[in-house]
Amino acid sequence: MNKSLNSLWGKINTKEEAVKVIKDISNGVYALSAITFLASFILGLSLIIDAILMGLLAFLLRKYKSRVFGVILFFYSLVVLSVTAFNRLGGEFGGGSNLILALIFVWFGIRALQATFKLHELISTTPPK
């Protein structure tokens, strides 16, 4: 299987794969952050806050590979999806309305959870050298 696709879909078996998934997911969140930032000039400046939070969470996830940041990223992605769905249904909650990007962000959150928890599981079960 293609290595980049493995980061999005494949099973995580080793510490190296978990770290790669974390790196690739943070890159994906950086890309979503950039798209959100650019969209803020069209859809409203309130999206800049989303772009900054996404970028910050991607940075913290990549730097610390922490389960805490994986969980925060996942729950924040659910908030973004909820606001997006609300806006699509006619609400005006001050956010975007692109459901596809919101669903991609949720998937990145799920993979961040999987990778960070798997990494720490593998670290704790690996005997010291």
Query: 74-83, pLDDT tens digit by residue?
Result: 999 999 999 9
Segments forming the whole domain that contains residue 54: 15-123
pLDDT at 72 over 50: yes
Residue 3 belongs to some domain of the structure? no
- Residue 92: what pLDDT? 77
User: Can you give the chain as a three-state secondary structure string?
Assistant: CCHHHHHHHCCCCCHHHHHHHHHHHHHHHHHHHHHHHHHHHHHCCCHHHHHHHHHHHHHHHHHHCCHHHHHHHHHHHHHHHHHHHHHHCCCCCCCCCCHHHHHHHHHHHHHHHHHHHHHHHHHHHCCCC
- Residue 69: what pLDDT? 98
pLDDT at 1 over 50: no
Residue 10 belongs to some domain of the structure? no
Split into its structural domains, the chain has a count of 1
Phi, psi dihedral angles at 106 (to 5 degrees): -65, -45
Residue 2: which pLDDT band, with cuts at 50, 70 and 90?
A: low
Higher pLDDT pick, 22 / 93: 22
Residue 30 belongs to some domain of the structure? yes
pTM, to two decimals: 0.90
